[in-house]
Structure 1
Amino acid sequence: MLKRVARLVFLVGYKIAAPFFLIIAFPWALYIRWTTKADVKTPRLVWGATPIINNSYWSLAMRAAGYESETFTTQYYAAINARDNWDRLLDEEYPHLPYPFRICIAFLASLKRYDVFFIPFHGYFLGNTPLWRFEYYLFKLARKKVVVLSYGADFFVYRRIRSIPLIHGLLMSYPGAAKRQGIIAKHVDYWATHADAVIPGWLGTDGLGRWDALTPSALCLDLNQWTPSARKSQADGNGDTVYIAHAPNHRGFKGTEFIVDTIQRLKNEGLKVELVLLEKKQNYEVREILKEKVDILIEQVINTGHGLNGLEGLASGLPTISNLEDEDYTVYMRRWSFFSECPLVSACPENLADVLRKLIMRPELRHQLGTAGYQYIEKYHGYDSAQYLFSNIIDYVYGRKESLINMYHPLLGEYKKEQPKIIHPLVNNKIVD
């Protein structure tokens, strides 16, 4: 009840203050337009305002490429991220001002400070306020560019999703979003229409109807921090124990209950296996566990696709399991991008036990997949890959490049075509005997 009252006060305050903000904001944006070049050769980049760790990695990658790039977010998730992952935080910049004033000042200051805004479908700092519809027009008037990168909660409109199992998993983990479908859909449609570029990856194609570049994932990792596991365990579940990791955040979405049940059933069969839950751990702890203590990672078995944790498993040289069963979500990725080279192992709740038995009892297969996994990350998900993607996006939004749609096309694209393809033993991400 208190949250609803606070939210109501928040919205009423914004509606009262909105005319005063706009009286200042539009002349300010016009002034910035007059003092900004139309074609910026090396634009200043910002990633925000939602504190998703991907923003930090992307910003660091582009900074390493010579861009002035930083994150500017509302806060950060202290349970899993460290403060030094982030550059600017709203609370630290304007700590003595009421929250609505902080948001407005942060937005106006950002118009002056940055040239390209990388945001989710929520929008930037005005995204969760009644002023959200004005963001694009202020960006446009100030001659700024907007690139939308979806991450999940900003994009999922449940009634537009083709996969019924995915909807159910989302309802298990995030039932409240089902009541906000209308406003989420409005934000998605707004930015799909107005953004200078939309880069959805796995998460952002259901019901969107627009993507400017097709990539299985725009995510990247700092490969200086990720090295493949040297365990090379020969455990086969009969003599020695095989350790299997899983991060149980978003439990319904990931199918955690099916993973726990499957491990127990395998134990009941007599196999020596142990489940290691990566829960409420800092990123450095996850890296250490994946490198030193486990043999297999299960990312998730409900949603078709993969996220950052799946890439972390591959970067650790581990055989990594994700659900890639639904061909509506996989065929087009294999056809028009580099995803056919990906050595993720596909499994769903119904076949997870069989897939795990094959990995548990065949240590050499695990090692083969682990080697291919690190090679895949090295080729497609290091900082250099992010720099290639975002440098091309920047050229595109400034009109220096005509299209991005075939950037990763296996026939028409040029990206890393000179390098050998990743060879792995899977067929359409499935283990074959």
Structure 2
Amino acid sequence: MKTKPRIFHGLVNYGTQSGVLAMYLRRFGYEAVSVTRPDSFCRVTDVSLPHGGNLFQKITRHAWTRIYLGYCFFAYDIFHFYFGITLAKGQWDLPLYRMLGKKVVMEYLGSDVQKYGVSVGKYKWTNVRYKQTPEEGVVTDRMIDKRLARERKYVDKLLVCAPCYSEFVTDSELLPLAIDMEQYDFTPLPEFDGSFRLMHAPTHRGNKGTSYILDAVERLKDEGYAIELDLVEGVSHEELKSRYRKCHIFIDQIVGGWYGTASIEALAIGRPTVVSIRDSYLEHFPVGPELPFFNADPDSIYEVLKSVLGLTPMQLQESAQQGREFVESVHDASVVVRKLVSIYEDL
């Protein structure tokens, strides 16, 4: 019988991808582990590398980390890395995996491959415009080109987590973001007590177009709409999930052109979601049913919110059900891991 490979996921855990995929790989009979850097959002992982403390603690924790990662290098057969980060600083370890018969998968999650020049040149609204100056963008783009060239030389498989990054890594394959559906029970919308409760949870306000959302909400309030906005920032992942359940409508980013983990989680819980979707990206998304989002950008966010506020509770509940079904078919971790196992088997 062929022995299943041992699989390493790390060292970042954005969107809890490392932790969730490793957990579900174990359910499929693989020996898999997620080893990640410390996470202020307390996302699920198997091993969180120690850090901080006084000088002695920093030295001992750094030494332990290097020894442990050295052990992982020899103990695992497939290394699924994220965000251009490998076991060694500067990726000097990349040539060694192939020399020892190991396989490397690199999954890109966003700003690790999204280039400033292309984004600003092609799109009126893009999140990178609010995160970097043009001068910083030039430097970042050069770094991305240099790193991708190195990774293409040594990495066995390139993945992107969303179709909005496919244009930056043209030889990549899409692996949809995954969530653990067991952690997201479908919850009916809260009772309507005379006002709509909206929620927006930016990890970076510029990245999400928060200022445009706040302006649209204030304009609607001035016009007499009974709405409350829960602006959620700097909370743990568990607190975030709790806050989803208290709102009627979730508003994610409106400048990026695609949806991320927050939108998926909100849909899974049963919250109609407003997010920016760029039609040109659909050609890179050949899976699942029609997208169940309310599409908005800074030009249209006021009108879209006004339209959504005009829906009946029954219409909103129908939208919530469609969102849940979409997540179950595309982003359920068990569905994503089946695709991932196929990718591993092809290596």
Q: TM-score w.r.t. structure 2 length? A: 0.88
Greater Cα shift, 307-316 or 384-393: 384-393
Equivalent residue, structure 2, for 1:406? none
Residue 58 of structure 1 is aligned with which of 16, 21, 45?
Answer: 21
- The alpha carbon displacement at 1:159 in A equals 2.4
In the superposition, relative to structure 1, how do residues 328 and 231 fare at CA in structure 2: closer, same or farther (>3 Å)? Answer: closer
Residue 250 of structure 2 is aligned with which of 297, 310, 323?
Answer: 297
Equivalent residue, structure 2, for 1:421? none
Equivalent residue, structure 2, for 1:119? 81
- The alpha carbon displacement at 1:391 in A equals 0.9
Equivalent residue, structure 2, for 1:243? 197
Equivalent residue, structure 2, for 1:327? 279
- The alpha carbon displacement at 1:376 in A equals 1.1
- The alpha carbon displacement at 1:346 in A equals 0.8
Give the gaps of 5 or more residues in structure 1. 1-38, 398-433
Please give the alpha-carbon distance, in whole angstroms, between the structure 2 residues aligned to 1:166 and 1:185. 23
Q: TM-score w.r.t. structure 1 length? A: 0.72
- Equivalent positions of 1:373-412 (< 5 A) are 373-397=323-347
Amino acid paired to 1:172: Y
- The alpha carbon displacement at 1:43 in A equals 1.0
User: Is it true that 1:265 corresponds to 2:243 in the alignment?
Assistant: no
In the superposition, relative to structure 1, how do residues 234 and 98 fare at CA in structure 2: closer, same or farther (>3 Å)? Answer: closer
Amino acid paired to 2:273: T
- The alpha carbon displacement at 1:288 in A equals 1.4
Please give the alpha-carbon distance, in whole angstroms, between the structure 1 residues aligned to 2:234 and 2:27. 30
The Cα RMSD (Å) is 2.5
Please give the alpha-carbon distance, in whole angstroms, between the structure 1 residues aligned to 2:316 and 2:130. 32
In the superposition, relative to structure 1, how do residues 72 and 119 fare at CA in structure 2: closer, same or farther (>3 Å)? Answer: same
Please give the alpha-carbon distance, in whole angstroms, between the structure 2 residues aligned to 1:381 and 1:327. 20
Amino acid paired to 1:344: F
Equivalent residues of 2:9, 2:35 under 8 A apart: yes
Equivalent residues of 2:105, 2:156 under 8 A apart: yes
Equivalent residue, structure 1, for 2:170? 209
Equivalent residues of 1:241, 1:272 under 8 A apart: yes
User: Percent identity at matched positions?
Assistant: 22
Equivalent residues of 2:50, 2:65 under 8 A apart: no
Please give the alpha-carbon distance, in whole angstroms, between the structure 1 residues aligned to 2:236 and 2:272. 22
Equivalent residues of 1:322, 1:347 under 8 A apart: yes
Give the gaps of 5 or more residues in structure 2. none
Say which SS state the counterpart of residue 281 (structure 1) adopts: coil
Say which SS state the counterpart of residue 70 (structure 1) adopts: strand
User: Is it true that 1:223 corresponds to 2:186 in the alignment?
Assistant: no
Amino acid paired to 2:333: Y
Equivalent residues of 1:192, 1:210 under 8 A apart: no
Please give the alpha-carbon distance, in whole angstroms, between the structure 2 residues aligned to 1:337 and 1:231. 28
**Highest Rg: 1 or 2?**
1
Please give the alpha-carbon distance, in whole angstroms, between the structure 1 residues aligned to 2:122 and 2:318. 32
In the superposition, relative to structure 1, how do residues 355 and 135 fare at CA in structure 2: closer, same or farther (>3 Å)? Answer: same
Please give the alpha-carbon distance, in whole angstroms, between the structure 1 residues aligned to 2:10 and 2:164. 18
Equivalent residues of 2:125, 2:297 under 8 A apart: no
The C-alpha deviation readout for 1:243-269, integer Å capped at 9, x for no partner, is: 110112221121000001100000011
Equivalent residues of 2:113, 2:168 under 8 A apart: no
User: Is it true that 1:49 corresponds to 2:2 in the alignment?
Assistant: no
Equivalent residues of 1:111, 1:142 under 8 A apart: no
Equivalent residue, structure 1, for 2:48? 89
- Equivalent positions of 1:16-415 (< 5 A) are 41-52=3-14, 53-73=16-36, 75-78=37-40, 80-81=41-42, 85-91=44-50, 97=59, 105-126=67-88, 128-129=89-90, 132=91, 134-161=92-119, 163-165=122-124, 167=126, 169-175=127-133, 178-200=138-160, 201-211=162-172, 213-215=173-175, 218-231=176-189, 233-234=191-192, 240-291=194-245, 293-324=246-277, 326-330=278-282, 332-333=283-284, 336-338=286-288, 340-363=289-312, 364-397=314-347
The C-alpha deviation readout for 1:323-363, integer Å capped at 9, x for no partner, is: 01x32223x045x332x422122111111111111211213
Say which SS state the counterpart of residue 366 (structure 1) adopts: helix
Please give the alpha-carbon distance, in whole angstroms, between the structure 2 residues aligned to 1:104 and 1:166. 42
Equivalent residues of 1:45, 1:67 under 8 A apart: yes
Count residues in correspondence: 337
Please give the alpha-carbon distance, in whole angstroms, between the structure 2 residues aligned to 1:367 and 1:193. 49
In the superposition, relative to structure 1, how do residues 100 and 179 fare at CA in structure 2: closer, same or farther (>3 Å)? Answer: farther
In the superposition, relative to structure 1, how do residues 123 and 374 fare at CA in structure 2: closer, same or farther (>3 Å)? Answer: same
Amino acid paired to 1:253: N
